[in-house]
């Protein structure tokens, strides 16, 4: 059973999503403002945060940034328009995925389950992979840990999964759609802004190794083992 922190100011939407998620087996803690949501984050230790961008007081984008300053919990943002610039800004602020209003409970549930699967430890019992070193970067796929010059790199779930997907086959070009399917489990022709925004965030966290992720113009990305 997963713990969901729902930050939504609209009472009707909040109650509806609370009921729907609880009906599907989640434990839900709800907050009507960003301030209350941030205050609940540490004591409740949610497995995922569902965050509306249009909040009174502290805006949703600022809430997202504040969460990312100290926590790598998965964040799914809720936006009013799928083509809004807020989607890109929200993803660049550290969100892992997004849903568009009016929110369908089934869609949100699918996104939550997908992000939780991506953050779950590998329980397949397969042979433990050996950590791989790329210059100053060490990727430990078994422990799901990335270090740069011996220091842990704090990666959000989507950033970690993206790095794992790219580094699994150095030199191979992966299209944005392939990465969307592997990392976000979006099997339809999805929104490649998820991929581009995540690559931008990931490059910013790799210290002097950002060049290990190369852009292949018009197609996708390639991991270069430096």
> For 90-145, how does the pLDDT look when each residue is reduced to its tens digit (9 = 90+)?
888 999 999 998 899 999 999 999 888 877 655 444 445 678 888 888 888 878 88
pTM value?
0.81
Would you list the domain boundaries of the chain?
3-119, 132-223
> For 176-221, how does the pLDDT look when each residue is reduced to its tens digit (9 = 90+)?
999 998 888 876 666 788 899 999 999 988 866 656 899 999 899 9
Q: For residue 226, how many other CB atoms are within 10 A of its CB?
A: 12
Least-confidence region, from 3-12, 14-23, 155-164? 155-164
CATH 1.10.10.10 fits 3-119, yes or no: no
Q: Which CATH number fits domain 132-223: 1.10.510.10, 2.40.100.10, 1.10.260.40, 1.10.10.10?
A: 1.10.10.10
> For 153-164, how does the pLDDT look when each residue is reduced to its tens digit (9 = 90+)?
999 889 999 999
3-state secondary structure 143-192: CCEEEECCEECCCCHHHHHHHHHHHCCCCCEEEHHHHHHHHHCCCCCCCC
Cα–chain center distance at 55 = 20
Q: For residue 192, how many other CB atoms are within 10 A of its CB?
A: 15
Contact 73, 49 (CB under 8 A): yes
């Amino acid at each position: 059973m997963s713990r969901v922190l729902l930050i939504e100011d609209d009472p009707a939407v909040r109650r509806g999503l609370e009921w729907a998620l609880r009906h599907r087996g989640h434990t839900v803690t709800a907050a009507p403002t960003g301030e209350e949501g941030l205050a609940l984050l540490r004591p409740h230790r949610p497995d995922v945060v569902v965050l509306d961008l249009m909040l009174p007081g502290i805006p949703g984008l600022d809430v997202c940034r504040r969460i990312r300053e100290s926590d790598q919990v998965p964040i799914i943002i809720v936006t009013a328009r799928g083509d809004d610039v807020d989607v890109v800004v929200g993803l660049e602020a550290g969100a892992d995925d997004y849903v568009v209003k009016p929110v369908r409970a089934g869609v949100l549930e699918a996104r939550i389950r997908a992000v939780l699967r991506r953050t779950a430890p590998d329980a397949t019992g397969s042979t433990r992979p050996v950590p791989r070193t790329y210059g100053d970067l060490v990727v430990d796929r078994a422990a799901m840990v990335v270090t740069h010059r011996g220091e842990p790199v704090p990666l959000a779930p989507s950033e970690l999964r993206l790095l794992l997907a790219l580094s699994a086959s150095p030199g191979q070009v992966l299209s944005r759609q392939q990465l969307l399917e592997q990392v976000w489990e979006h099997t339809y022709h999805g929104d490649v802004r998820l991929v581009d925004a995540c690559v931008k965030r990931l490059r910013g966290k790799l210290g002097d190794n950002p060049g290990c992720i190369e852009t292949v113009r018009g197609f996708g990305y390639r991991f270069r083992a430096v």
